[in-house]
């Protein structure tokens, strides 16, 4: 097994992939930032908050994440967009509500507590349900969800329902709503399942047109046992054609004393 050869080759391909990225991706550093404000039970960044941070990183490299009690006026400077995420129910401080109400551009709110924010005045969350199919008004199509989705039905807002679902009693309810001033409410509390819906709504809210999303080709299952010549050929082919790609590497543990090689495959360690 050529550990050094595969490692050096992966590094070379990684630099090639970075060099082949379109200018628009590299220009994200020059964009104004995004401020994410969250409310969690213990005040710490949960896995849900980190997922939202990851999604926001698609639009800019300047993402600031602050818990609701720590937000200051200075946090809003240089921020083009503000996202509030309420993972748990809480009464927000008047200071925070005043700061958010002063934001001139559309605000995105997710989960609980959004009704306290002036941009979403009148918002009422009627019920919470687990659904396996939702309807997109913009795409005029039903979307099936393999693992289900915990949604909060919305009422009391003026604007347009973007996504709806059918309850067990057959009635239709909305859970993603766009107000007349462009503010977007997303009735989700769990951002780990089917976060593609959240990503789509963020793209629309931030003015990114459909069909302009940068896509990557993934070269996966790369390990010291991989054919390094074939890997180099694949990377060179993509690089010459300016096709962005990423590398998915399988970690390997080598015990030199026991001469055992163990690979991490499908989240489990097994003999290579």
Phi/psi for 234 (5° steps) reads -65, -45
Nearest to 1 by CA among 246, 266, 272, 224: 224
Write out the two tokens for 163. 């996504």
Q: What is the pLDDT of residue 53?
A: 94
Identify the segments of the chain with pLDDT beneath 50.
Answer: 1, 11, 23-27, 29-30
pTM (2 d.p.): 0.72
**Domain limits, the chain:** 3-22+214-271, 24-205
**Class of domain 24-205 (CATH, top level):** alpha beta
Q: What is the pLDDT of residue 189?
A: 83
Q: What is the pLDDT of residue 44?
A: 94
């Amino acid at each position: 097994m050529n550990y050094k050869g595969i490692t050096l080759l992966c590094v070379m391909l990684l630099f090639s992939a970075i060099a082949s990225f379109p200018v628009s991706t590299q220009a994200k550093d020059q964009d104004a930032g995004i401020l994410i404000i969250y409310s969690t039970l213990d005040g710490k960044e949960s896995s849900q908050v980190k997922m939202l941070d990851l999604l926001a990183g698609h639009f800019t490299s300047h993402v600031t994440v602050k818990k609701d009690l720590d937000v200051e006026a200075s946090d809003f400077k240089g921020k083009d967009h503000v996202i509030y995420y309420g993972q748990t129910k809480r009464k927000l401080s008047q200071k925070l509500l005043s700061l958010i109400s002063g934001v001139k551009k559309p605000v995105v709110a997710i989960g609980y507590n959004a009704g306290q924010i002036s941009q979403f005045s009148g918002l009422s969350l009627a019920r919470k349900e687990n659904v396996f199919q939702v309807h997109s008004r913009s795409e005029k199509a039903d979307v099936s969800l393999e693992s289900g989705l915990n949604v909060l039905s919305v009422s009391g807002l003026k604007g347009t329902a973007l996504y709806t679902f059918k309850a067990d009693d057959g009635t239709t309810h909305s859970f993603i709503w766009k107000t007349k001033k462009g503010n977007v409410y997303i009735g989700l509390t769990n951002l780990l399942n089917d976060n593609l819906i959240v990503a789509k709504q963020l793209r629309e809210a931030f003015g990114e047109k459909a069909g302009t999303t940068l896509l990557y080709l993934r070269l996966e299952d790369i390990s010291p046992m991989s054919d390094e010549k074939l890997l180099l050929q694949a990377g060179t082919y993509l690089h010459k054609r300016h096709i962005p790609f990423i590398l998915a590497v399988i970690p390997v543990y080598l015990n030199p004393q026991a001469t055992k090689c163990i690979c991490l495959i499908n989240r489990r360690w097994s003999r290579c």
